[in-house]
Structure 1
Amino acid sequence: MRVVVIGGTGHIGTYLVPSLVRSGHEVVVISRGVRRAYREDPLWEVVQTVACDRGKAEADGVFGAAVAQLNPDAVVDLTCFTPAQACQLVEALDGQHLVHTGSLWSYGPSALVPTTEDAPKEPYGDYGIGKLAIERYLMSQDRVRATVVHPGHISGPGWMPIGPAGNLDPAVIDRLRADGSCLLSDRGGETIHHVHAEDVAGLHQACLEQPDNAAWHSFNSVCTQALTLRGYAALVARHFGHQPKLELVPWSEFAARVGPDQAALTLDHIARAPLFSMDKARAVLGFVPKHSVTNTVLESIDAWVAANRN
């Protein structure tokens, strides 16, 4: 196929684009041209890259037409965040398979776990609400065949994963490395559900290569297990050779000690209590993630430590 990947140099694209080329597809990447892929791969040399500022092109009303003019058989949209963006793209296409990257935040707080794709959705916050609106639009239109992939907390070498405190504070990792200590709220029993970027890419590719099975479906994209905060902290402490020293305090004290920004980020993640099922991707597409959740977070942390070690 000739596949156009919008935003192809980010977390997902850095794995997806070379894998598509390796599988024999012709790939065109649309990006602003300001970011290199996270992983070097010689196959990027045969990828056609089109520089385009999506926001400006959409404001001018020409982005969808610019994608259509590339004559794709399929389109992967990794950077769509509003229904208006999705609509402009869809209205310019004609019958292609469109694989859209959604988010588990489109579900809102989990009620039954592991949460499946047919669960009721009650998102909150602009991001989750917007992703659900896009999904509903794509599943109601008939210009393209649509598939939606909902990643969890995307992790991998090159960026800090959501950490054991449910936020991105590097001091959490520093303390676990130093002596195995970690401050957590309440009992530390909330779950967060990571996924390796390579597996998110792999599920996108499985959808592309099985369009008859994937069209008009959404799929969760996570590791087959999730981590509790306290289990995550203990895992990292032991990884660095320490016995875990977990300090469990009421939420009010936790928020005061970590500060408002990190506390808000923690709450964003733990309030949804994510734990999702991968059964549908396996049953419909035969797709099973390669990376365990423990290997995913430890690989990410080790790469981050190596890149930031003083």
Structure 2
Amino acid sequence: MKVLVIGGTGRIGTYLIPQLVRAGHEVVCMHRGRHAPRRDRALWKQVRLIAIDRRAAERANTFALAVAGVEAEIVVDLLCDRVRSAERLATTLRGEVHQYLVCGHTAVYGSCHQPPVAENSPRSPLCDEAEHKLQMEEYLMDEARMRGLPVTVIHPGHLVAEGWVPLTPQGTFQTSVFERLAQGGEVFLPDQGLSTLHPVHASDVAEAFLLAIQHWKVASGEVFNIAAPSAITWRYYAETIAGWFDKQAQLRYCPQEEWLEQLPSEEAALSRSLLERSPCYSIAKAERLLGFRPRYDALGAFYESIRWLIGNDRIKAPSIQ
């Protein structure tokens, strides 16, 4: 089938597009044109690339027309984050495509009061971005129920992949944390470091999209959480990283508010969100209906990303195998 991937050169698309090519699909990739493919470049030679600025095209009311012009049978939207964007595409694609797949986010659930959180759990987003994703999801599921839109929404956990900085055990993107752990230096964690992170390797998310295409009958009109088999605590994450370098983690703890005051405003907002959510999600539905089996556990996903950072001189630390 002809598959259009919108936003195909980011973390998920980097893995999804080669998988689609291997599966025999005719693949078209819409992207801003700022990044070249990072892996499997031989397979990317079989992909038609369309450079387009989505925001600008949406303002000009031409984006949905550009998507329709591809005449794809399957559309995978990895970038949609506003209900208005979803409305425009759904209106254009209704009755014209075999399947429409959209990337959401597990942040729509808000705090994980009864972990692991399943797809039928209440939604209570804690930030504007998650609220926008929730509005988008609700609209698309209404379209599926009332008008038969063949849509599937995939909710990934924290995305991890080689070439991108992963979350640290402090719930930030400050890579100096990895360097201190590698050197046996002191690292502070909020409270007792018992909040959780629930990552997922981007290749596993790509696999979930591919499985949803293969099992389109059961996937249509459904939402799926996609994450590693289990979440991990910030403390365990820090201790494990130190162990990769044969070090003992030197962890110190402080009250949450005192900890957040030490961070730049953007990092503090991210860390606070993670502390309040303490992410932990169930992937049982995807396992049951799609046959999803994640290749990477939480630590394995982080390991690959950190190893890439070291190998590409993004952080100063000894090599790990």
Q: Classify the TM-score, shorter chain.
A: over 0.9
Residue 319 of structure 2 corresponds to none
TM-score of the superposed pair, with normalisation by structure 1: 0.97
Residue 193 of structure 1 corresponds to 198
Task: Tell me the number of residue pairs that the alignment of Structure 1 and Structure 2 aligns.
Answer: 310
Mapped partners of 1:180, 1:22: distance in 2: 45
Judge conservation of contact 1:180–1:237 (CA < 8 Å) in 2. no
TM-score of the superposed pair, with normalisation by structure 2: 0.94
Write the deviation string for residues 247-301 of structure 1: whole angstroms up to 9, x where unpaired: 0111233223334332222112221111001100011111111111111111111
Residue 28 of structure 2 corresponds to 28
Residue 116 of structure 2 corresponds to 114
SS at match of 1:46: coil
Mapped partners of 1:147, 1:164: distance in 2: 32
- Superposed, 1:177-256 pairs within 5 Å as 177-256=182-261
- For the aligned residue pairs, the C-alpha RMSD in angstroms reads 1.3
Mapped partners of 1:211, 1:157: distance in 2: 29
Aligned in 2, Cα 1:122/1:256: closer, same or farther, shift over 3 Å? closer
Mapped partners of 2:149, 2:107: distance in 1: 24
Residue 57 of structure 1 corresponds to 57
Residue 278 of structure 1 corresponds to 283
Mapped partners of 1:43, 1:187: distance in 2: 46
Write the deviation string for residues 112-131 of structure 1: whole angstroms up to 9, x where unpaired: 11100000111121111001
Mapped partners of 2:51, 2:262: distance in 1: 44
Deviation at 1:143, TM superposition (A): 5.9
Deviation at 1:92, TM superposition (A): 1.0
Mapped partners of 1:20, 1:187: distance in 2: 43
Judge conservation of contact 1:194–1:226 (CA < 8 Å) in 2. yes
Mapped partners of 1:224, 1:180: distance in 2: 30
Judge conservation of contact 2:184–2:242 (CA < 8 Å) in 1. yes
Deviation at 1:38, TM superposition (A): 2.9
Mapped partners of 1:262, 1:52: distance in 2: 31
- Superposed, 1:97-176 pairs within 5 Å as 97-141=99-143, 142=147, 144-176=149-181
Aligned in 2, Cα 1:246/1:309: closer, same or farther, shift over 3 Å? closer
SS at match of 2:132: helix
Mapped partners of 1:149, 1:162: distance in 2: 21
Stretch moving more, 16-25 or 121-130 = 121-130
- List gaps (5 residues or longer) in structure 1: none
Deviation at 1:69, TM superposition (A): 1.4
Mapped partners of 1:264, 1:126: distance in 2: 12
Residue 38 of structure 1 corresponds to 38
Residue 93 of structure 2 corresponds to 93
Judge conservation of contact 1:155–1:194 (CA < 8 Å) in 2. yes
Deviation at 1:241, TM superposition (A): 1.2
Residue 292 of structure 2 corresponds to 287
Write the deviation string for residues 146-172 of structure 1: whole angstroms up to 9, x where unpaired: 100001100011011111111111111
Identity of aligned residues (%): 37
Write the deviation string for residues 83-102 of structure 1: whole angstroms up to 9, x where unpaired: 00011111111332110000
Judge conservation of contact 1:11–1:38 (CA < 8 Å) in 2. no
1:181 alignment partner AA: E
Judge conservation of contact 2:126–2:273 (CA < 8 Å) in 1. no
Aligned in 2, Cα 1:52/1:260: closer, same or farther, shift over 3 Å? closer
1:190 alignment partner AA: S
Mapped partners of 1:167, 1:125: distance in 2: 16
SS at match of 2:70: coil
Mapped partners of 1:282, 1:252: distance in 2: 38
Judge conservation of contact 2:18–2:40 (CA < 8 Å) in 1. no
Aligned in 2, Cα 1:257/1:57: closer, same or farther, shift over 3 Å? closer
Judge conservation of contact 2:194–2:233 (CA < 8 Å) in 1. yes
Mapped partners of 2:117, 2:185: distance in 1: 32
Mapped partners of 2:315, 2:141: distance in 1: 46
- Check if 1:257 corresponds to 2:262: yes
